[in-house]
Amino acid sequence: MADAPTEEQVKTANDAELAKWEDDFDEADLNVPASKEDKDAQRTDEKTEEEPKDGDAADDEEEPAAVYSDPAPVVTIADPGDYTPADYSFEVTLKDGKTVKVSTPEEAEKLADDPDNFETPKQLMDFINKQNKMNHNLDRDHDKWEADKSKFDEQTAIEAERQEKVDSLVKGFEYLVSKGFLPKVAEPDLTADWSDPEIAKHDGVKEQVALMNYMVKENKNREKAGVPLLNSALDAYNAWQLDTSRQRAEAEHKADGEARKTAGARVAGVSPAAQAPYVPKGISVGRTLNFRGGADWED
């Protein structure tokens, strides 16, 4: 019997046989993932490399949250009080040479009704000019007072309505605290500046600030939608709790779905018994090859 081939001879023969087949198959067809996990990992890598689509960045940007702040003063002018005419009196010389002081339009009208009070047209014209100037100034002052008074009354009414809402809001917060829905505000914080970031972190303060911020944001959304606004702390609290519960339920539902998906992937990912990878005809794995057209080493 012929001597057994050496290891070098076997390697040389195998390389020669493999070279005959290397152009018959696409390398990609031979690169088969070993399991479902490998396929999932490959798809994940492909998704990571994808370019973000237009608008993705814009969708991730959230609208800045509305923040409660103390409203600006409504009453911007001082109370003009009751109307008091200014002094626009003047003096006029009459026909008999006397000088008379005229202090009111009524006094001027009384002099004008008697033509014998003026000797010359010049005296009459001088009187009429001073009378007209008095009436003009008094009318101007009264119009200004009337406009200021009307604006002041309007602003005062708005301020009273707003104060009524503030008082109602305060009572609403007191009610929520009394029921244990919100923590109590410490005595020093009742008169503190809640816009101070440090004060806003205190227990009781932060919860009321958060509720007021929610109320401001929700009312902006409702105003855009044309639906009734939240007008009390209790209404705002109830709406806030409802939104929070709904968001929590949605988050839990999503988490449950992800958990089921993950569990399903584990079950589906169990690989069947390992199968031998596809090997082109004529190629042997784990043993020496009998070459097509070659010598039989065991002869």
Task: Report pLDDT digits (tens) over 175-220.
Answer: 999 999 999 999 999 999 988 999 999 999 999 999 999 999 999 9
How many CB atoms neighbour CB 268 within 10 A? 10
Residue 28 in this model has a pLDDT that exceeds 60: no
Give me the residues paired with residue 99 across strands. 93
Q: Does residue 188 sit in the same domain as residue 158?
A: no
Q: Which contacts of 117-121 are long-range, i.e. CB under 8 A and separated by 24 or more positions? A: 118/94, 119/95
Closest of 257, 216, 207 to residue 236, by C-alpha? 216
Q: In terms of domains, do 72 and 163 share one?
A: yes
pLDDT at 123: 85
Does residue 7 lie within any of the structural domains?
no
Same domain, 82 and 112: yes
Same domain (yes/no): 163, 71:
yes
Q: How many CB atoms lie within 10 A of CB 112?
A: 15
The pLDDT value recorded for residue 118 is 86
d(CA 87, CA 90) in angstroms, rounded, equals 9
The total domain count for the chain is: 2
Residue 71 lies in a domain: yes
Domain C-terminal end among 167, 198, 223 = 167
Mean pLDDT of 52-70: 48
What pTM was estimated for this model as a whole? 0.48
Provide the token pair at 73. Answer: 């003063």
Per-residue pLDDT of 225-256, as tens digits, reads 999 999 889 999 999 999 988 988 888 888 88
Answer with the residue of higher pLDDT: 31 or 139: 139
pLDDT of 269 > 80? The answer is: no
Q: Domain check: are 149 and 231 in the same one?
A: no
Q: What is the DSSP letter of 2?
A: P
Q: Which of 167, 193, 211 is the last residue of a domain?
A: 167
Does a structural domain hold residue 84? yes
User: What is the pLDDT of the chain when averaged over all its residues?
Assistant: 78
pLDDT at 275: 52
User: Is there a single domain that holds both residue 156 and residue 125?
Assistant: yes
User: What is the Cα–Cα distance from 282 to 299, expressed in whole angstroms?
Assistant: 20
Please state, in angstroms and rounded to a whole number, the distance separating the CA atoms of residues 192 and 179: 24
- H helices, E strands: number in the chain: 9, 2
Is residue 80 domain-resident? yes
Q: Which residue has the higher pLDDT, 87 or 4?
A: 87
Residue 213: which domain range? Answer: 182-268
Domain contains 213: yes
Asked if residue 188 and residue 163 are part of one domain, the reply reads no
52: in domain: no
Asked if residue 148 belongs to a domain, the reply is: yes
**Residue 170 pLDDT > 80, yes or no?**
yes
Same domain, 114 and 187: no
Task: Please indicate, yes or no, whether residues 147 and 234 belong to a single structural domain of this protein.
Answer: no
Q: Among residues 130, 140, 125, 138, which one has the least CA distance to residue 101? A: 130
pLDDT more than 90, % of the chain: 41
Could you read off the pLDDT of 38-51 as tens digits, one per residue?
Answer: 555 555 555 444 54
pLDDT level of residue 31 (50, 70, 90 thresholds): low
For residue 298, is it within any domain? Answer: no
**Residues 187 and 264 placed together within one structural domain of the fold:** yes
Q: Is 76 found in the same domain as 150? A: yes
Please identify, among 127, 142, 167, the residue that sits at the C-terminal boundary of a domain. 167
Residues 163 and 186 in one domain: no
